[in-house]
Amino acid sequence: MSPEEVKARGWKELDIILITGDAYVDHSSFGTAIIGRVLEDAGFRVGIIAQPKWDNPEDFKKLGKPRLFFSVSAGNTDSMVSNLTPGLKPRDKDAYSPGGETGLRPNRAVIIYSNRIKEAFPEVPIVLGGIEASLRRFAHYDYLSDKVRQSILADAPADLVVYGMGELQIVEIAKRLQAGEDIREIRDIPGTVWKMEVKAWKELKKGKKTAKEQNGQEQDKREQKGERESISTAEGMARDVAEGVAESSGEFFKEYIEIPSFSEVSQDKADFANAFRKYFMEQNPVTGKGVVQPHPKTVIVQNRPMRPLTEAELDHVYELPFTGEAHPFYPEPIPALEMVKFSLTTHRGCFGGCAFCAITQHQGRMIASRSIESVLREAKKLTEKPDFKGIINGVGGPTANMYAMGCKSWEKKGACLDKACLYPVSYTHLTLPTN
């Protein structure tokens, strides 16, 4: 997007600027296009800077300073997956760049883009999103360096990570900032990750311990005296202070669990596996708890996942006015668009539970589906495009035949975290589409 395009829309400034490592394609298969259209639909003025040069901050300044925040994504895939083969050789083509050109995004794009933004506008909040930020939200194994790395939020100078499908989170963040809330106080939105100071974490832990000790000591005293006398005023005050800390601590630990720290998981494979298992078990928007992972200089706090969109919400998102085209600025086609241009999304999520697949960590195990009417309306629009050749190439989601499937248990329990969805058949509560 250019400053002239911003002016042409009659805007003097932007509310939000989205930065992406992909070329800009206004199609619902591209995360930045969805987030941009959803924010625009919610009434915000949105600008997009695609594939900025990252060796200095100038490209990040070209649309001015946004009134609310920058949102940063590496693009539809992790930047290192876009740039490198599994053998760590440079790829000869980047499917998300014009003409498949390579070298238009850096490795670790989210961290590098965030650093450039901080240099350009140190006071503007930064929100991370997309696959790269989402799947690197806790300490994680990094294939390129062959090491366990810290959470991306510990490495990037950013304020929040939106993980999973981000429409509901990003609009809520924008509304809160618009209402004057400080981004450092936005701590309760499901599907987001934030940073806590190490000192505050230690206080919370101390409060938890104090409450436990206090309860234990009082119990002991009563048992020793064998009577139910009221405790002295001094003891009462001490208990009240302890309970004050313990109260907030107690509330916090009702909602959040702690997993092994970065220091632990980077040194011990069993701790790494244990941490993964623990946060995997909380990937449930209905019963899941938040997850805390201490790092040396900060503490990473993940709120429970955001709920999936309803059918009406999903219909609305996919029927926003996407042009389905790449930005006219590009002289050559974007290969990734050619693959999906005449395809459409019918649903999100998968309960397949394949061990190697990260879809659960991003789209979740509960299926969210569009209505048949909405899918048909989009199909009709595709057939009206001048370059339509008579075939819609793809209709589906992560697993095409899970369209409109549901489960009687999802409303109260969310999706089961074991693999019993599909087998044995007599155990399953799955419901199939009725039409």
**What is the contact surface with ligand SF4 in residues (CB under 6 A)?**
350, 352-354, 357, 359, 398-399
Name which of 339 and 357 has its Cβ closer to ligand SF4: 357
Cβ atoms of 326 and 337 closer than 8 Å: yes
At closest approach, how far in Å is the CB of 367 from ligand SF4? 11
Name which of 250 and 353 has its Cβ closer to ligand SF4: 353
At closest approach, how far in Å is the CB of 357 from ligand SF4? 3
At closest approach, how far in Å is the CB of 402 from ligand SF4? 8
Structure tokens at 384: 């009206």
Distance CA 270, CA 264 (A): 9
At closest approach, how far in Å is the CB of 82 from ligand SF4? 20
Cβ neighbours of 360 (radius 10 Å) = 22
Name which of 127 and 415 has its Cβ closer to ligand SF4: 415
Name which of 289 and 348 has its Cβ closer to ligand SF4: 348
At closest approach, how far in Å is the CB of 199 from ligand SF4? 40
Cβ atoms of 94 and 81 closer than 8 Å: no
* 78 Cβ neighbours under 8 A, 6+ residues apart: 131, 132, 135, 136
At closest approach, how far in Å is the CB of 355 from ligand SF4? 9
* Residue 398: cis peptide before it, omega within 30 degrees of 0: no
Cβ neighbours of 45 (radius 10 Å) = 19
Q: Which residues pair with 127 in a beta bridge?
A: 71, 160
Name which of 125 and 398 has its Cβ closer to ligand SF4: 398
Distance CA 191, CA 175 (A): 16
Give the nearest residue (CB) to ligand SF4: 352
Which residue has tokens 């002991």?
220
Cβ atoms of 276 and 297 closer than 8 Å: no
At closest approach, how far in Å is the CB of 353 from ligand SF4? 6
At closest approach, how far in Å is the CB of 58 from ligand SF4? 40
- The DSSP call for residue 25 is B
> Do β-strands 126-128 and 69-73 pair in parallel, antiparallel, or remain unpaired?
parallel
Name which of 343 and 399 has its Cβ closer to ligand SF4: 399
Name which of 106 and 398 has its Cβ closer to ligand SF4: 398
Name which of 106 and 397 has its Cβ closer to ligand SF4: 397
Distance CA 254, CA 6 (A): 47
At closest approach, how far in Å is the CB of 366 from ligand SF4? 13
What letters, b where the CB count within 10 A reaches 16 and e where it falls short, cover 265-299? bbeeeebbeebbebbeebbbbeebbbbbbbbeebb
Name which of 47 and 364 has its Cβ closer to ligand SF4: 364
Q: What's the Cα-to-Cα distance from 47 to each of 24, 25, 131, 379, rounded to whole Å?
A: 11, 13, 21, 28
Distance CA 259, CA 271 (A): 9
